[in-house]
């Protein structure tokens, strides 16, 4: 069984406040399980995850949607 590894884009806010910055973290060569089951360096524990997408096209779409 082959495991698909691709770029993963995580859109998150730094906290649950309304004026919190929206940021994107791009992880290279990861599986969906890596993202969902582990702590990710660069994303604080208090962060609110808005979206997770796999593939370069999805990451470009998120950059336009959230104006990043």
> Is it the case that residue 1 has pLDDT exceeding 70?
no
CB contact burial 14-52 (16+ within 10 A = b; e otherwise): eeeeeeeeebbbebeebeeeebeeeebeeeeeebeeeeb
Q: Where are the domains of the chain?
A: 23-68
Cα–chain center distance at 37: 13
Cα–chain center distance at 16: 16
Task: Kindly report, residue by residue over 33-49, the tens digit of the pLDDT.
Answer: 777 777 888 888 888 98
Confidence label for 23 from pLDDT (cuts 50, 70 and 90): very high
pLDDT of residue 56: 82
Better pLDDT: 66 or 38: 66
């Amino acid at each position: 069984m082959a495991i698909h590894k691709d770029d993963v884009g995580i859109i998150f806010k730094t906290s649950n406040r309304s004026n919190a910055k929206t940021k994107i973290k791009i992880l290279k060569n990861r599986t969906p399980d890596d993202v969902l089951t582990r702590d990710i360096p660069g994303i604080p524990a208090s962060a609110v995850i808005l979206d997770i997408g796999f593939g370069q096209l999805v990451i470009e779409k998120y950059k336009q949607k959230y104006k990043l």
